[in-house]
Structure 1
Amino acid sequence: MKFDRTTILGFVIMGLLLFGYLYYNSKNEAARKKQIEQETAQKAHADSLARLNPKDDSTRNVIDSTLKNNREIAIHGLDTGAEKITEVKTDLFTIAFTNKGGQPKWIELNKFKNKDSGLVRLAASPYDRISYPIKLGTQTTETGELKFRAPEVTHDGDNTIITFNLLHDSISQSLVTHQFVVRKNDYMIDFNVHVNDADKMLTQGKMNLSWQYEAAQQESGISFEKTNTQIGYVENGEFDYHTIGRRDTVTLDGPVKWIGVRQRFFNSFLIAKDNFSSAAMGWSIPPDGQHIIVQAKSNLQIAVPASGNVALNLFYGPADYHILKKYDLKMSKIINLGQGMYAFVSPLNRYVILPVWDFIKGIVSNYGIVIALLTLFIRLLISPLTYKSYLSGAKMKALRPEIAKLKEKHGGDQQAMSMDQMKLFREAGVNPLGGCIPALFQIPIFFALYSFFSSSVDLRGADFLWAKDLSAFDDVIKFGVNVPLLGSHLSVFTITAVLTSLLISLYSMSMTPDQSNPVLKYMPYIFPVFLLFIFNGLPSALTWYYTVSNIITLVLQYVIQNYIIDHDKILAKIEENRKKPKTKSKWQERVEQMQEQQKKMKEIQQKGKR
């Protein structure tokens, strides 16, 4: 075969067409699989709801007739026996159900330990309750106070189905049914409710659901845990949140998809498949001594259809971005990757930090090393700016003798000194602020990592060197008493961050031409002191990152200044720049005009004094 241009072009076109076909086909196949999965899930959900419905209308008529003819059946014919607990174990958690209210009693997460080294338990206090009022005869009572019959436990593949029935002695069919579907590898639990004759048992055919949730302390630092605890919800399709210490109520008038509590590393959500019509939540923060982060009570209203079926979901699990993201309910937005005044760093976390973090942790198991490698990646990313910064510093150092001459020439006349110094910088082609750019660029990176490390459940319980938990401060040095502004401990990673910051400041000071300014003279000592008080209560992950970043900075400074930057070439370049014709920007012209005016005014004032 002769491979002329036409033949080669034909092969290229065929290859592109084949690639396009395969790509299009793969997308269609993926879409088809997703559709099948959705249809399967919907069918399973519909089947679970179907189990709740009475098999025929005759049973419904019996219930209706009984309620009409015997208005005093009320509570007397209901179960009044002892509370019965039923446990269901999965790979992710163990959940206990109680027949009192037909609801969860507690949830124990298998992969997470609390501050006392026991497994984390959620919704485990007497305060926790899911309830709604129903009419029994002439009385109205809360389902949370009623005893359902012992549950029926069945299995559907890997799913465990727990069904509670509220039965009356005079009626064979359940008045109310609560059905929970627990999956093997899923923190989301289906909660299906069926109310017979909902229009009679519920006020105006609406369920006024009450959800009480108490978030118990799980972390060693209760103050930091409270600071990072939020109330979140989706109203009218939009996510919003409130930090618990800043307000104590929220009223939602629009359709509400879900409402929940995030206590730094763990979430609890109540979700309605067809939305709550309205919701209101109030919360209180008990004193630290009670070891409770927040007590929240939600009142939610949901319309109940003629079928009497209400489809809800409960989520009790870790505040893991990837786990929450897969549900496509905007629950992942409650993970603090940048909120409030730091919302501008959220894209940096979601599209840069998080993907790189996931990639590195897939290769390295030690999270201390993962942080170090992430730091190295970030520093490589901004290395061009870093090089320009050090180059600017080298130029400033080369001009130091000439600046010294200007100081000698002008003495105490700071204004004249400033004007001539700016002129010198312009002639030499030096930007005195060039060294500030990398520092400014690292500010959003620091805020991004502050948010990321404070909310990353990966770091919870991860030890490294002397730190037992990278998500908390290391308290190797304990004082035994509370020191103002510092606390009862001194973090070793904070010390390393402060010392390396001090070394960087001293080095930068040696590169500064003018050291007569008292602020510049003492700044290397003042700034690390501030860091000591600020960093001491922050997660070890953040202070370790800062330490590694500082070490990289010191190494780069030494290598670039001693082996990469040629100081003789810099001097030659400065002399070359001086010979070039200079054009002033409008901003430079305005600054010089202002300085000239100030100089003239000063001269006039001095003459007036004479």
Structure 2
Amino acid sequence: MEEKKKLDISQLIGFALIGAVLVWYTMTQKDKEPVAENTKTEIVQNNESETTTSDAVVTDSLLQAAAVQKYGTFAYAVASGTEESGTTTLENDVLKLVIANKGGQIVEAQLKNYEDYQKAPLYLIKDNNSNFNIQFGTQDNKLINTKDLIFAPTTSKNGKNQVASFKLKVSNSQYLEYRYELKPNDYMLDFSVRSVGLENVINSNNKINLEWDMTANRQEKSIKYENQMTALHYEKEDGKYDDLSVGSEDDEMESDVDWIAYKQHFFSTILLTNTPFEKAELTSKSLVKDVLVDTIATKSFSTVAPLKLTNGALSYNMNFYIGPNIHKNLASYNKGIENVMNLGWGIFGWINRNAFIPIFHFLSSFIGNYGIVIILMTLVVRLLMSPLVYKSYVSSAKMKVLKPEMDAINAKFPGKENQMKRQSEIMALQRKSGVNMMAGCIPALLQMPVFFALFRFFPSEIDLRQQPFLWADDLSSYDSVFEWSTHIPILSSFYGNHFSLFPVLASIAIFFYMRMNQGQQMSMQQPAQEGMPDMQKMMKMMMYFSPIMMLFFFNNYASGLSLYYFVSNLLTLTIMYVIKTYVIDEEKILAKIHENRKKPKKTSKFKQRLDEAMKQAQEQQAKQKGKK
């Protein structure tokens, strides 16, 4: 019994030990499991981190390799860390410029004192409508376009001027630099291009081309009219100014070009250089095919000009003018850029520069309403021209007084065979009476330069832009009292889709002016000669045709010009009526003619030669008649 009890006790102790071991083992495994899981997770995380870092290194390496493959030594600019989308702003009271790191070029140019036709801020450069690029080859056979690379910007001050430097780097000491400097209250921007330490980088055997493209976005009420006034202008060798056609497309290759202007109607973007471009390939293309559809842009301009190295380096001092076409302001730079304003050639431009522009600005300096300024300017011009109108009318009156005697000569020498004799007798009568047949033509010819000068003045005067008068909301564009959306092919092309009232009033005034003037002319007109055109019929046709032509032509033109012609013709009608009714006395003119006939006449050498030529012609005509 004692042995059995000992056995039981021993078994109990063994089971207890085994149980204790099992409990210890279980507790030990539970404590170890979390540690193992945490260790595994940490390893996975470390592996993911290492993989990400490795992928980034690989990606950067691939990008760097691709950049080196594409740009060669200029791959440094790609990896420089400069933000590609970054920009720098230069701003004064009149101009705001935004310059991008990519390409180092101007991507926005706002004229702060002007608005577009929708009353929105006016931008000459915006939304990628302009592109400035220098293309060149490198010694490692890469083709570089600066517009694709990232420039490193820095800003500073030069007195009151704001300066922005953009460097396209090969290293910290080797770069191509664009430097912009903006003065206070000025539209002219200093701009320079220079290379530093690139003598062994740029391949001098390859062409270095400056490429400048721009699309002229619409700024004015009438895109058709604006397109007619938008053109590429330039100054070429020997100080000669020229422009490309305003038609559909034109291009020229010019030498020694000092400046190139992408001129819109009232604004210009001009690139000037102190070192003339030896060659410049210039292109202009109209983008307006249908004014009802093409409503965004007027023309696209393009310039390609080779640049030259000086001692292995680029060094060009240039300027950008980005601003309004104001003749006085443009002329103040002494660069000839005022010639972008088409004031007319020769005498027409001289009249505008020395008469109409000063008169207009003098009147507008103390009168705020530009419609009133135009009316007063018209009054001044017509008063200055009234002596010519008087001389023309006096000449007509003299011819009218002589008409009975000239009719008698025509009756005495009828037929084609007596034409030379008839003309000789009429000229002798006029000379004896002291009447010059050209006296009536010369005053009219002297007035023609004024007409054509004004035709150029009104479309060029920016002060009329967006200025209202009566029903016209913009004196620099057409006035519209009625518009329609239906497109009528022929009518819309020549007349437009609107009805302008000022051209109608001007056309009516022209009709009555021509009627009064031609009535005076017809009263002294000789009967049509055999084989000669009937002048009376031609004058009647012109009396009706001219107002209709003006009605169609001026419907899309500046309403300020139509207002001028309306007031001008009203004043001319008034002056002619006063001269005819109160100034000219036909009885006195006739008495003066009789006095002239009593005086001995000196015949000039020209008249002697003319009389001799007519005498010879009459003799030759008589001989031919005798042979027959």
Give TM-score scaled by structure 2 length.
0.75
CA pair 594-537 structure 1, distance change in 2 beyond 3 A: farther
More moved, 490-499 vs 323-332: 490-499
SS state at 1:102 partner: coil
Please name the residue that 2:31 is paired with: none
Distance across 1 between alignment mates of 2:625 and 2:308: 82
CA pair 594-230 structure 1, distance change in 2 beyond 3 A: farther
Please name the residue that 2:184 is paired with: 184
- Report 1:423-438 matches (<5 A): 424-438=429-443
Identity among equivalent pairs (%): 31
CA pair 492-574 structure 1, distance change in 2 beyond 3 A: same
CA pair 177-581 structure 1, distance change in 2 beyond 3 A: closer
Please name the residue that 1:26 is paired with: none
Check the 8 A contact 2:89/2:99 in 1, yes or no: yes
SS state at 1:203 partner: coil
Query: Residue 109 of structure 1: CA displacement?
Result: 0.8
Return the letter of the residue paired with 2:557. L
CA pair 224-434 structure 1, distance change in 2 beyond 3 A: same
Return the letter of the residue paired with 2:513. I
Query: Residue 231 of structure 1: CA displacement?
Result: 2.0
Check the 8 A contact 2:110/2:121 in 1, yes or no: yes
Please name the residue that 1:261 is paired with: 262
- Report 1:317-332 matches (<5 A): 317-332=323-338
C-alpha deviations, 1:518-568, integer Å up to 9, x for none? Answer: 334454333322332333333222222222221221121122222222333
Query: Residue 83 of structure 1: CA displacement?
Result: 0.7
- Report 1:202-213 matches (<5 A): 202-204=202-204, 207-213=208-214
Distance across 2 between alignment mates of 1:574 and 1:390: 16
Return the letter of the residue paired with 2:218. Q
Check the 8 A contact 1:419/1:595 in 2, yes or no: no
Bigger CA radius of gyration: 2
Please name the residue that 2:120 is paired with: 118
CA pair 361-597 structure 1, distance change in 2 beyond 3 A: farther
Aligned with 2:467 (options 462, 465, 469): 462
Check the 8 A contact 2:481/2:498 in 1, yes or no: yes
Check the 8 A contact 1:125/1:214 in 2, yes or no: no
Aligned with 2:344 (options 317, 338, 360): 338
Indicate whether 1:471 and 2:476 are aligned: yes
Distance across 1 between alignment mates of 2:279 and 2:107: 26
Distance across 2 between alignment mates of 1:167 and 1:578: 92
Query: Residue 74 of structure 1: CA displacement?
Result: 4.6
CA pair 143-466 structure 1, distance change in 2 beyond 3 A: same
Query: Residue 428 of structure 1: CA displacement?
Result: 3.4
- Report 1:92-103 matches (<5 A): 92-103=94-105
Distance across 1 between alignment mates of 2:452 and 2:96: 37
Distance across 2 between alignment mates of 1:522 and 1:284: 39
Aligned with 1:313 (options 316, 319, 327): 319
Aligned with 2:384 (options 372, 381, 384): 381
Return the letter of the residue paired with 1:391. V
Return the letter of the residue paired with 1:553. T
- Report 1:156-171 matches (<5 A): 156-166=158-168, 171=171
C-alpha deviations, 1:377-426, integer Å up to 9, x for none? Answer: 33333333222112122333444555667778888889587666555544
Indicate whether 1:572 and 2:591 are aligned: yes
SS state at 2:320 partner: strand
Return the letter of the residue paired with 2:90. V
C-alpha deviations, 1:223-244, integer Å up to 9, x for none? Answer: 3323322222333352332234
Query: Residue 94 of structure 1: CA displacement?
Result: 1.7
SS state at 2:204 partner: helix
Alignment root-mean-square deviation, CA: 3.5
Return the letter of the residue paired with 1:117. K
Indicate whether 1:487 and 2:496 are aligned: yes
Please name the residue that 1:239 is paired with: 240
- Report 1:347-426 matches (<5 A): 347-399=350-402, 415=419, 422=427, 424-426=429-431
Distance across 2 between alignment mates of 1:462 and 1:95: 27
Please name the residue that 2:28 is paired with: none
Return the letter of the residue paired with 1:327. Y
Please name the residue that 2:520 is paired with: 511
Check the 8 A contact 1:273/1:312 in 2, yes or no: yes
Check the 8 A contact 2:98/2:106 in 1, yes or no: yes
SS state at 2:199 partner: helix
Return the letter of the residue paired with 2:517. S
SS state at 1:430 partner: coil
Indicate whether 1:144 and 2:163 are aligned: no
Check the 8 A contact 1:239/1:333 in 2, yes or no: no
Aligned with 1:589 (options 607, 611, 617): 611
SS state at 2:497 partner: strand
Query: Residue 465 of structure 1: CA displacement?
Result: 2.4
CA pair 432-96 structure 1, distance change in 2 beyond 3 A: same
CA pair 220-203 structure 1, distance change in 2 beyond 3 A: farther
Distance across 2 between alignment mates of 1:127 and 1:510: 57
Q: When the two structures are aligned, how many residues end up with a matched partner?
A: 532
CA pair 432-522 structure 1, distance change in 2 beyond 3 A: farther
C-alpha deviations, 1:89-142, integer Å up to 9, x for none? Answer: 321122112111122111111122222222221122424222224649664432
More moved, 404-413 vs 424-433: 404-413
Indicate whether 1:217 and 2:218 are aligned: yes
Check the 8 A contact 2:224/2:288 in 1, yes or no: no
SS state at 1:443 partner: helix
SS state at 1:338 partner: coil
Check the 8 A contact 2:433/2:594 in 1, yes or no: yes
Distance across 1 between alignment mates of 2:382 and 2:326: 27
CA pair 73-423 structure 1, distance change in 2 beyond 3 A: closer
C-alpha deviations, 1:263-312, integer Å up to 9, x for none? Answer: 22111112223333433233332244163222222222333446765432
Query: Residue 442 of structure 1: CA displacement?
Result: 1.4
SS state at 1:568 partner: helix
Return the letter of the residue paired with 2:186. D
Give TM-score scaled by structure 1 length.
0.77
Distance across 2 between alignment mates of 1:387 and 1:73: 79
Distance across 1 between alignment mates of 2:619 and 2:73: 95
Please name the residue that 2:29 is paired with: none
CA pair 601-532 structure 1, distance change in 2 beyond 3 A: farther
Check the 8 A contact 2:395/2:439 in 1, yes or no: yes
Aligned with 1:541 (options 553, 557, 560): 560
- Structure 1: where are the runs of 5+ without partners? 1-65
Aligned with 1:109 (options 108, 111, 124): 111
Aligned with 2:581 (options 562, 569, 578): 562
C-alpha deviations, 1:337-364, integer Å up to 9, x for none? Answer: 214xxx4422222233333333333233
CA pair 141-91 structure 1, distance change in 2 beyond 3 A: same
Query: Residue 600 of structure 1: CA displacement?
Result: 5.8
Return the letter of the residue paired with 2:233. G
More moved, 537-546 vs 316-325: 537-546
Distance across 1 between alignment mates of 2:271 and 2:145: 18
Return the letter of the residue paired with 2:299. V
More moved, 295-304 vs 136-145: 136-145
Distance across 1 between alignment mates of 2:364 and 2:160: 30
Distance across 1 between alignment mates of 2:541 and 2:279: 58
Distance across 1 between alignment mates of 2:285 and 2:542: 43
Check the 8 A contact 1:74/1:136 in 2, yes or no: no
Distance across 1 between alignment mates of 2:550 and 2:75: 69
Query: Residue 220 of structure 1: CA displacement?
Result: 2.5
